[in-house]
Amino acid sequence: MKWEKEIALNSEYDILVAGGGPSGCAAAIAAARLGAKTLLLEASGSLGGMGTIGLVPAWCPFSDKEKIIYKGIAEEVFDRAKQGVKHHKKEDTDWVGIDSEALKRVYDEMVIEAGCDVLFQSSLCDAKRIANKIEYIVVSNKAGLTAYTGKVYIDCTGDADLVAWSGLEFEYGGSQGEVQPATHCFQLSNVDTYSYLNGPVLHSNNKKSPIYDILEDDKYDLIIDSHMCNNLVGPNSVGFNAGHIENVNPTDPTSVSGALIRGRKLANQFHDSLKEYCSTAFASSFLSATAPVMGIRESRRIVGEYRLTIDDYIARHSFQDEIGRCCYYADVHQSLPQSKDSDNAGTNKFLQLGRYNRGESYGIPFRSLIPKGIDNLLVAGKIISCDRGVLGSVRVMPPALVTGQAAGTAAAMASMNDYGIHKVPVDELQAVLEKNNVNLHGL
């Protein structure tokens, strides 16, 4: 028996945003606020990516120790999200905990308020490019396959799927194909909050952290290093961005599936070990959630009009075409020794750079959001054009929101004025961003 069906075609949108993480939400909000008819496509059942379904327990710092760096839509999201974590003060800016359910609602509200349409449980599965333009994308969901055409497309998939499926150039990992290890975040509940806050600091920066005793205990064999970020995310609930899972290829479903199984076992080992080695706080706790998605730090990166580098980071570089600033350090994770030919062999050379001093940041150029060889596609988030060193800085959620807002703004300008993204006037783009409170040139 043969079943044949034509793929439906939808041509009603100006802007199509693939991926509903921080960058995709910011892109969709920015484009819709400027009047472009925008559709946001998300493969899961909620927006927010790693901050929501990924269970990342805290925001990376929003300030340079003097002022907020990630402004505009990023600051709006941050301020609304803080209302869900009552144990933080309104003025707190760095390592603020995340209530993932509250953050889901924040993204829902902001996207809908902007006038953007959203499709959940809808996965990008193909793209058609002719010459220097994407003609359409194909989306899979319970309605089957649907082709969508738009004036401008924005890839916020976190894996540069739209870039790859359009046949455009990208980089992946290091020279040996190595990528930073992944982490499967989880949450423990019924924790004794007083003991947790007043007991030994669990983070590996504390050389007396219980994690070092746990590492010496052979029965916790899946815990391979001291990575142990954790934050109070609600009453008697602690979120963990802890542990590493090596050699996860986020573009290979078999690899990711195996990592998720290992990650759930790893979370259980962390729970058991904390009950043993930090019993005052965790004796009565239970493992209340593991993330439904893997925490991926590194995937494909586009080959763009400008490749942001670790040298730009070191120089605190500003750009004539910058669309935002970043002050996060070069946080390149490594848990096991790499081969001598690896890009991050031996001691993590990027961590030796240290962190920025007060008031320091670097710019992100618009050209890093533009893939080479295409005139109606932009990207945002950790897939922008950059090297592996600066990826450790630009990959986290606050700068993803910033690059998302810039991509959405530029896409709306291009679609509404009927020109390609290469003809977006940078001075006009910057003027719109500044009008919407984006921080440019460190001012």
Q: What does DSSP assign to residue 356? A: P
Q: Is 112 helix (H, G, I), strand (E, B) or coil?
A: helix
H or E element at residue 146? strand 144-148
Instruction: Answer yes or no: are the C-beta atoms of 41 and 18 closer than 8 Å.
Output: yes
pLDDT, tens digit, for every residue of 289-306? 999 999 999 999 999 999
Q: What is the pLDDT of residue 182?
A: 97
Q: Is 397 helix (H, G, I), strand (E, B) or coil?
A: helix
Q: For residue 281, name the pLDDT band (cuts at 50, 70, 90).
A: very high
pLDDT, tens digit, for every residue of 387-412? 999 999 999 999 999 999 999 999 99
By DSSP bridging, strand 170-172 and strand 117-119 are: unpaired
Instruction: Determine if residue 148 is left, alpha or beta; phi over 0 gives left, psi from -120 to 50 gives alpha, anything else beta.
Output: beta
Which position has the token pair 């009552």? 86
Q: What is the pLDDT of residue 341?
A: 44
| 346/340 Cα distance (integer angstroms) | 7
Among candidate residues 304, 268, 279, 326, the one with its CA nearest the CA of residue 385: 304
Helices (H) and strands (E) in the chain, counts: 12, 17
Residue 1 confidence (pLDDT) above 60: no
Which position has the token pair 């605190």? 316
Starting at the edge strand found earlier in the chain, the sheet holding 15-18 runs 117-119, 38-41, 15-18, 152-155, 377-379
Among candidate residues 43, 45, 48, the one with its CA nearest the CA of residue 59: 48
| 133/128 Cα distance (integer angstroms) | 9
Residue 346 confidence (pLDDT) above 50: no
